[in-house]
Amino acid sequence: MSVFGVLVLNLLFLLAGSCVLWGAGAWATWGDWAWSSGVSYMSGLCAVSVLATLVPIYGGGLSAGTILALVAGVGLAGIVVGIVRRRPFPTSSAARTAPDLVTLALAGVTLLLLLLFFRVARIEPMTSWDAWGFWMTKAKAIYYFGGLDLSIFRQTWPSYPILVPALAAMNFRFMGAADTTALAVQWWLLGAGFVWASAGMLRRVAPARVTWLFLAIFVALPQFDQRLLERTADWPLDLFFGVAACALLVWILTRETWLVVVFCVSLSAALETKREGLLLAACLVVAGLVAADARRRSTWLAILGAAAIAYLPAIPWRLWWTSRHLPGDTPPGGLVHATFTNLGQAPKAFALVAELTFKYGFWLGTAPLALVAAIVCLRASNRRAAVFFLAAFGLTFVGWAWENWAFVSEGYPITSDPSVNPTNRTVASLVVLATVAAPVLVGQLLAQRARSEAPEPVPAPASP
């Protein structure tokens, strides 16, 4: 019964997201909907979950009726926009070329691995200390009592956003009990949704074979296995960031307006998941402006406008914890003071981030492959994808190093020991970014090679 409740809730997320993307113009046929259903699911989950964080902030409870109202509100908003924009009612899809055997094999391997993880997710007990000692404690408080009980929410990290507790509480409501074991299915769905959403967006700009190759590698990562079912906020943050990065990258290349909507809602979810979401959002925005030619007014209006809208739901949470004089998570003296005071620790911090990002036993070879492909692509005529990836990767890399040396005075030693330093978790964002960018970059290299090897056309003989 618990797993069934999780599935019903997530079907509602899919329905809400499908309405939003129809209104935004992402799909007009049922075939397009099937390809974009992963994007629809992640968009609906992000939108409903972000709105759900506002309910306990203002003292409400996430009852079944409230959750259904949030889903209906998101879905109706998409339908209204679609009607105003005169979107056509979905029709049957035109005939499409069947995927080749290599693509089908890679997609099949990815699906098989995900199904094997699902078998585990149904019965995997919650063993992560952060999950049962922090995130699920807050989720149970929202589920049982409604609102935000200060006796619980003033404990460790009181300024952390509450999207994950709110999402878990909604699952508990549809389960009918606070079943943290079955809740692992929700985390599995996030992983599967990210894979399907990435495939749906990348099919516009990358070869299907290359896309599914990197997605299969992603699902086979040793750290994917370890983090997928933890029920903490780290993995959802990385996946929301990955969806936002993928949407922004594809928008830079295609300028399809609906991708800005996906970028906005997924970025908002990242901001509402952990405080590190603010750093990741800033890196994406700057990288997008650099790669997409910010001299064009439409570019900076789209990127900065979407980012500003994404940040709006985070304001009530900040007002809530600051108005109750709860401590923030900044080091003594403020961030600027800590940055320059501990600057001598910067080389050690950079070395740690590099070690954990490129450690083969954690992440296989995704990030190095993407970096090499991006550097080579800088010589291509269309460098936008390479510039975006290198800028986003570089800024995020520096950001995680900065977090290490700025917070070292707070008792966070610069070490690879995961029990006292979270960097082995935070660098997952770099690997997720590489996963969605690599198919585009490698695809560009393959296309360039094919053009160079194509025989020159033979000139027609001159007429007598």
pLDDT in tens, 397-453: 999 999 999 887 666 789 888 888 889 999 999 999 999 999 999 999 998 877 776
Residues with Cβ < 8 Å from 368, sequence gap 6 or more? 358
pLDDT tens for 384-403 read: 999 999 999 999 999 999 99
Q: Residue 251 above 90 pLDDT?
A: yes
Are 267 and 305 a contacting pair, CB within 8 Å?
no
The pLDDT of residue 201: 97
Q: Residue 258 above 90 pLDDT?
A: yes
The pLDDT of residue 99: 79
pLDDT tens for 287-298 read: 999 998 767 788
pLDDT tens for 64-114 read: 999 999 999 999 999 999 999 998 888 876 656 777 899 999 999 999 999
456 confidence band (pLDDT: 50, 70, 90): low
The pLDDT of residue 1: 64
Between 190 and 411, the higher pLDDT residue: 190
383 confidence band (pLDDT: 50, 70, 90): very high
The pLDDT of residue 413: 87
Q: Residue 457 above 70 pLDDT?
A: no
Q: Which residue has the tokens 């003071």?
A: 337
The pLDDT of residue 162: 95
The pLDDT of residue 459: 63
Query: Mean pLDDT in the chain?
Result: 91
Domain chopping of the chain, boundaries: 2-88+103-323
CA atoms within 13 A of residue 347's CA, in its CB half-sphere? 1
Q: Residue 464 above 60 pLDDT?
A: no
315 confidence band (pLDDT: 50, 70, 90): very high
Between 129 and 193, the higher pLDDT residue: 193
Amino acid identity, position 141 = A
* Over residues 170-197, mean pLDDT: 96
The pLDDT of residue 61: 93
